[in-house]
A and B are shown apart, each in its own frame.
Chain A
């Protein structure tokens, strides 16, 4: 049972963004769009998830969650299974409830993993995923869609402003470095070992 759930949760990680975007178009599009139909009848008016700028960001977040959450559990799963079971036993003898055990044993035990993951995430904060955004952008929702990477692509590749878009790209890379070192510094400040 646990394995079956695990296996199905990992699948989306191996799919390309093209496939994820295609699935989104089928489910949230106008035709056949089962989710659009349900949402429209619930809200009482026609919803257009793919064209409405207000729905662009929620959709992007939803896609990222669908694709990445299952896979993201692997590292935490490994960290959680590494917690010494005698600690739980001792806590139980002292009368700690499940919540207490989670708060006083589980969370402190996986703290360093959480910190490392946070540093890595901070470094890739600006890597908002060119493919995902690019695939989901259309002329109607472009006003809320542009991120560094898509902007660089449009300015550089489609409009040929190479030096300008290179500068934008370098700026993004510089901010990325600041973020990763900043997160590392913060982690050290709070008594964690950090990455470097």
Chain B
């Protein structure tokens, strides 16, 4: 609803024109900056705490509680984490699934988006409507689980990326992108004797490199961070991904400790180190992520 417009009664004076230099706005600016810095610290401090804790001894962690710099730095925890068979395996599995899964997902999305961007495709509108339908309505967790199970994908790595292979939002954005590429380029390639595959490979793909990078990152972060798929589809603990492992070390440990009196909880510093290793790839990619995700977010939502 339109807010009621209060009548402007303040007399217009010369002085009012440059009130940006007034005392009031200086206070406002200072408060703004202080508030923003505090917000920034609120997001950053937990990380610094975790990184510091991963280099500290257990005794220091339980004694000091919160610190941003370890008194006696040690690499002991990391050495231990990588000396166990479980952790490097989970790391390798996660990296493998992320790389292969991203390739498959990007390939499938692009291969579906390209034909859908051709106006000559028969049944194009019907297929598009089916895609849009999945965006508003879905059967949910159990039907998906049953399909994955009956395809024999339980306890296979395929279950971690195939069910999510084509994200309908991404598909439509890529399709729109293809549609906006100039038709003349493709025609001239055809006149020069390029096949349809050649047109896609030599003309379309090189032109869509930026959008390819964006969606590859979207998909990769999705797979890396996914906790639900391994929880649903992977029962065999030797096939666990990092997220499952992190949960086991940092969260379930407390519950296990309550149930089993003989259970020895993992060392505190171990939790810190595991969190750091599971977050590190994301933080290293962060500069690219920020750039591409921000762009992707804006193509997806605000138009014009």
Contacts and interface: CB of A to CB of B under 8 A. Distances in A.
A15 interface: yes
A37 B86 CA distance: 33
Given A19-B279, A190-B1, A5 B142 contact: no
Contacts of A74: 294, 297-298
A17 B227 contact: yes
A78 B231 CA distance: 37
Interface in A152-181: 152-153, 156-157, 162, 165-166, 169-170, 172-173, 176-177, 180
Given A1-B33, A16-B227, A32-B61, A26 B50 contact: yes
Nearest to A93: B17
A11 B254 CA distance: 27
A185 interface: no
A34 interface: yes
A7 B44 CA distance: 10
Contact of A157 (B66, B145, B268): B145
Interface residues of B, number: 74
A16 B245 CA distance: 13
Contacts of A97: 10, 19
A21 B161 CA distance: 23
B25 interface: yes
A169 B243 contact: no
Contacts of B243: 16, 18
A104 B225 contact: no
B140 A131 contact: no
Contacts of B145: 156-157
Interface of B: 1-3, 5, 8, 10-13, 16-17, 19, 25, 28, 33, 36-37, 39-40, 42-44, 46-47, 49-50, 53, 61-62, 64-66, 136-143, 145-146, 221, 224-228, 231-232, 243, 246-247, 250-251, 254-255, 268, 271-272, 275, 278-279, 282-283, 286, 289-290, 293-294, 297-298, 301-302
Q: Please name the 7 residue pairs, one residue from A and one from B, whose CB atoms are nearest each other, closest first.
A: A169-B140, A34-B66, A16-B225, A22-B250, A156-B142, A95-B12, A5-B40
Interface of A: 1-2, 4-5, 7-19, 21-23, 25-27, 29, 31-34, 37, 50, 66, 70-71, 74-75, 78-79, 92-98, 100, 103-104, 107, 113, 116, 123, 130-131, 134-135, 138-139, 149, 152-153, 156-157, 162, 165-166, 169-170, 172-173, 176-177, 180, 190-191
